[in-house]
A = this chain, B = another copy of it.
Amino acid sequence: MKSYAIGVDLGGTFIKTALVRIHGEIVGKVEIDSERDRGPEGVIENILRAIRLVMKQNKTTEDEICAIGIGSPGPLDTRKGIVCNAVNLPGWINVPLRDRIEKVFGIPANLENDANAAAYGEYWKGAGQNSSIMLAYTLGTGVGGGIIINGELIRGASDCAGELGHVTIVPDGRLCGCGNQGCLEAYASATSLVRIVELNIKQGRAPLLQKWSREGKKLTAKLIYEAYQQGDVFAKEMLEQLGYYLGVGVSTAVMALNPDVVVIGGGMMNAGAVIIEPVRREVKRRVFPEHFENLKIIPAELGNDAGVIGSVGLALQMTQNQKSQRL
């Protein structure tokens, strides 16, 4: 009886793997360095090693695993299982990652965009369970997104739907890492928060954070949140401003898709209410009453596990679909 699956979350820094029961419960996890400087071959070796390790540590064998789900930075070709060009992984051009892994273990594998996998995880086992239309935002270094409609991940015509961090919220606004102007990511990521606070420190508008910086503390989103917790008015203003802009971006997606659940996760969400309240306020102000009435805007529940759980969920969905096509 194959009652387990393996989830892989491939990142620029770490490879996370998890052994997951087919109902979605994590049995054990392994996290190792990606060693991305070793190029695709070195990183793939590490992925294989991490998969073997998580099986070994949890005393399972390949016979008990029904699927392997992989979440990877994109752009991808999910139909062919190819990583076309992963921005944070040097040398990854058109790597047939899915087939490489499938061949080694003889287990069906599935490749998905990492942000989409995390969104699906929240839908399957997290904050978005039983939603009919769910949007997910992940606030970290960047702003990731994902869209699930009636249980189906929206992949898009060329595998790049769900880029909710790159909707334009200010037409001639801040320059984004993607090269465009005024993306949500340039206003609501940890990176953008640190950048705007740095600018304010230079202008003498952030006395506490300036003091801490001079004392050698590294300016991070976490430090800004600490300042807020200590009652710093400037830090509060900055976090609320981030929530305001996120609210503008969320409103836009709500107008288009009329979801019943919007899940917000990622490292930034440790700040909780000081971000999510302005989001709710702004969405309420901007959308129609019919959009807002039954809309839940809530924090993610799975934390860093969303990716591996979602990858497993999507891999199981894929094997189910293949089975029903064969019937």
**Known contacts A286-B180, A288-B178; A159/B258 CB under 8 A:** yes
Chain B residue with Cβ nearest A150: B152
CB distance from A174 to the nearest CB of B (A): 12
In the bound complex, how far is the Cα of B291 from the Cα of A160, in angstroms?
7
CB distance from A22 to the nearest CB of B (A): 26
Residues of B within 8 A of A293 (CB): 158
Of residues 191 through 229 on chain A, the ones whose CB sits less than 8 Å from some CB of chain B are: none
Residues of B within 8 A of A168 (CB): 169, 248, 251-252, 255, 286
Main secondary structure of the interface of A (DSSP, over half): loop
In the bound complex, how far is the Cα of B20 from the Cα of A251, in angstroms?
38
Contact yes or no, A161 B180, CB < 8 A: no
Contact yes or no, A256 B167, CB < 8 A: yes
15 A-B contact pairs sorted by A residue (CB < 8 Å): A133-B156, A133-B161, A147-B257, A156-B259, A157-B294, A161-B256, A162-B258, A163-B256, A163-B258, A168-B251, A168-B252, A169-B171, A170-B170, A171-B245, A256-B257
Residues of B within 8 A of A155 (CB): 258
In the bound complex, how far is the Cα of B147 from the Cα of A75, in angstroms?
23
Residues of B within 8 A of A295 (CB): 157
Contact yes or no, A290 B133, CB < 8 A: no
Residues of B within 8 A of A163 (CB): 255-256, 258, 288, 291
Decide yes or no whether A107 CB sits under 8 A from chain B: no
Contact yes or no, B167 A170, CB < 8 A: no
Hey, which bits of chain A sit against chain B, CB under 8 A?
A: 75, 84, 131-133, 145, 147, 149, 154-164, 166-171, 178, 180-181, 245, 248, 251-253, 255-260, 285-288, 290-291, 293-295
Contact yes or no, B169 A290, CB < 8 A: no
CB distance from A144 to the nearest CB of B (A): 12
| Other 17 A-B pairs with CB < 8 A, given A166-B287, A180-B287 | A133-B157, A133-B161, A145-B256, A149-B149, A149-B154, A157-B258, A157-B259, A158-B260, A163-B256, A163-B258, A166-B288, A167-B251, A167-B255, A168-B169, A170-B170, A180-B285, A180-B286
In the bound complex, how far is the Cα of B159 from the Cα of A260, in angstroms?
11
In the bound complex, how far is the Cα of B286 from the Cα of A171, in angstroms?
10
Residues of B within 8 A of A170 (CB): 170-171
In the bound complex, how far is the Cα of B245 from the Cα of A298, in angstroms?
31
In the bound complex, how far is the Cα of B168 from the Cα of A75, in angstroms?
27
In the bound complex, how far is the Cα of B86 from the Cα of A267, in angstroms?
43
Residues of B within 8 A of A161 (CB): 133, 256-258
Residues of B within 8 A of A259 (CB): 156-157
A-B pairs, top 7 by smallest CB distance, nearest first, are: A156-B258, A157-B260, A161-B258, A167-B252, A163-B255, A160-B290, A166-B255
Chain B residue with Cβ nearest A258: B156
